[in-house]
Amino acid sequence: MRTLTTEQVLLRIAGRLASFAVKTLHLEITQELLDELKSRGVLERGVVPKTKKVLTKFSQRSAEDLAILVIRETSRMSTQRKVTLLIDGLEKTPPDPARSTFDALEGLHSEVELVVVVPWHAAYGPSAETVIAAGEKLVVLPPVEVEGPEGAAGLEFLRHVATKRLELDAATLAKAPPSFMARGGELDTCARLSGGVPRSFLQLLADAASYARVTDGEDWPAASHVAQAVADQRESFRRLLTPGDDLALQMVDGKDGRNMALDQKLRLLSHGVLLERRENGVPIMRPHPIVKTLL
């Protein structure tokens, strides 16, 4: 991500959108356009066009022209007549690709909407005014609820994340011990102790599976392996805490965060030590469940 150029970002957008339009929406994207995307190495495998019509040939379009052409062709053929691009990870790139990508798409207001994922510290930090421009709307996405009335839906969502990310089909899951997929079993334990953060959840699963293989030669983690994974994550959080963090985390628990120094809050939020949740529509701060065991 740190070496991406604006051209690579725009080519990636063009390739992903064209692939999605053909494979998922079954739209008839122009053959010549797909051929050009394929020659640039950004078209997904298995994309087969349904039409043989071609556009007027161009020698080699720019990445910006390709992205705009794919957006316009997709929006023209789709039933909703508009494309929404979900872009994640631009904060990890050099400053130029992020801004240049938005500049390249700026003239497509009637055809494309941008949903850009940014980390908490980028949206609320000292340089937030350069991230959130006038006319743009900030929507806070809190961690998935894994406790209380909404906890069941959150646990089901993380189960879905695990099966999709790990490509666990029905035949594979049938080989798992009954306790692993059972309600309250190892999978649900990892979900609850992750605090509803998918990254933390998948890390717990991966570490538990590693312990199962290394210590016992098992394919599936048991409760003891999950406990070892939790202990590892607890130590990782412990190393992130600095003097004064314990008391600050206790004092901010259940509050909106205004009583915590901004630099401290940004640091703890960026590392997932502190989580922003919503209770009755009001944003509040909660320490990560594993961090709570350290306080």
- Helices and strands of the chain, counted as H and E runs: 15, 4
Note the pLDDT of residue 51.
52
d(CA 187, CA 196) in angstroms, rounded, equals 13
Provide the residue-wise pLDDT of the chain in tens; the chain has 295 residues: 778 888 888 899 999 999 999 988 888 888 888 888 888 888 888 776 555 555 445 557 888 888 999 999 998 888 877 899 998 887 777 777 777 887 887 777 778 888 888 877 777 777 666 666 677 788 888 899 998 888 999 999 999 999 988 888 888 888 889 899 888 899 999 999 999 999 999 999 999 999 999 999 999 999 999 999 999 999 999 999 999 999 999 999 999 998 899 889 989 998 999 999 888 878 899 999 999 999 9
Instruction: Answer yes or no: are the C-beta atoms of 9 and 96 closer than 8 Å.
Output: no
- 100 and 194 both lie in a single domain: no
Point out the domain boundary residue: 62, 84, 117: 117
Q: Does residue 212 lie within any of the structural domains?
A: yes
Q: Which two tokens stand for residue 88?
A: 């994640």
82 and 199 housed in the same domain: no
Number of structural domains, the chain? Answer: 2
Structure tokens at 224: 């003891």
For residue 169, the model assigns a pLDDT of: 84
Domain region containing 211: 142-295
Residue 151 in contact with residue 188, Cβ under 8 Å? Answer: no
Please give the pLDDT value at position 97: 73
- 131 within a domain of the structure (yes/no): no
Encoded tokens for 283 = 């944003």
Q: Judge if 147 and 86 occupy the same domain.
A: no
Q: Is residue 171 located within the same domain as residue 46? A: no
Give 61: exposed, middle or buried? Use CB within 10 Å, 0-12, 13-18, 19+.
middle
Query: Do 90 and 194 belong together in one domain?
Result: no
Tell me if 133 is assigned to some domain.
no
272: region left, alpha or beta (phi > 0 left; psi from -120 to 50 alpha): left
Instruction: Tell whether 238 and 180 lie within a shared domain.
Output: yes
- Does any domain span residue 128? no
Residue type at position 201: F
In a domain, residue 136? The reply is: no
In angstroms, the CA 163 to CA 167 distance is 6
pLDDT of residue 44: 87
User: Do residues 157 and 172 make contact, with C-beta atoms less than 8 angstroms apart?
Assistant: no
Q: Tell me if 127 is assigned to some domain.
A: no
pLDDT at 264: 93
